């Protein structure tokens, strides 16, 4: 149960008639609640017929999933995936407190 998308999300089908404000909110919620993403920190902006995604994820597959979930929830928009993958570098200088 916990891995299924909540029913209240599935029940509401967004359309291109909805105000961009609500479409962006719906996509952001889907990114947080869809088991394929569970990404809470992705910023969603709609400008004209484009949907911009910004933020960071831990792997390339997760970056692709974010775009896929967004596209499913607003298929009439062109998704611009500006999400980046966190690069884990070597530990740096220590800090003395």
Partner 1 sequence: MRIRVAAVGDVHLGEDIRGRYRRRLEGIEERADVLLVAGDLTRHGTPDEGRIVAEEFRDLPVPVVTVLGNHDYQSDAEDEIVDVLREAGIQVLQDDSTVITCGDVRLGVVGGKGFCGGFAGKCASEFGEPEMKAFVRHTREIADLWHKALKGLDTDHRVVLSHYSPVKDTLTGEPPEIYPFLGSYLLAEAVDAEGADLFVHGHAHAGVEKGVTPGGVRVRNVALPVLQRAYAVYCLGDESDNC
The residues, any chain, with a CB within 8 Å of residue 77's CB and separated by 6 or more, are: 23, 46, 49, 50, 51, 71
Q: What distance in Å separates the CA atoms of residue 90 and residue 83, rounded to the nearest whole number?
A: 22
Measured from the CB atom, is 7 or 89 closer to partner 1?
Answer: 89
- Closest CB to partner 1 among 15 and 94? 94
CB closer to partner 1, 16 vs 85: 85
Query: CB of residue 10 vs partner 1: minimum separation in angstroms?
Result: 18
CA angle, 74 then 60 then 79, to 5° = 20
Give me the least distance between CB of 16 and partner 1, in Å please: 26
- List the Cα angle 24/62/77 in 5-degree steps: 30
* Sequence-distant contacts of 15-19: CB under 8 A, at least 24 apart: 16/76
Site for partner 1, rule CB under 8 A: 2-3, 35, 38, 41, 55-56, 58-59, 61-62, 86-92, 94-97
CB of residue 35 vs partner 1: minimum separation in angstroms?
7
Closer of 11 and 95 to partner 1 (Cβ):
95
């Amino acid at each position: 149960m916990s891995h299924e998308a909540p029913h209240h999300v599935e029940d509401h089908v967004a359309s291109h008639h909805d105000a961009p404000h609500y479409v962006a909110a719906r996509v952001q919620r889907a990114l947080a609640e869809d088991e394929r993403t569970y990404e809470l920190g992705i910023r969603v902006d709609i400008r004209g017929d484009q949907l911009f995604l910004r933020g960071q994820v831990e792997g390339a597959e997760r970056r692709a999933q974010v775009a896929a979930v967004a596209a499913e929830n607003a298929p009439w928009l062109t998704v611009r995936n500006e999400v980046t993958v966190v690069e884990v570098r070597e530990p740096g200088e220590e800090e003395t407190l």
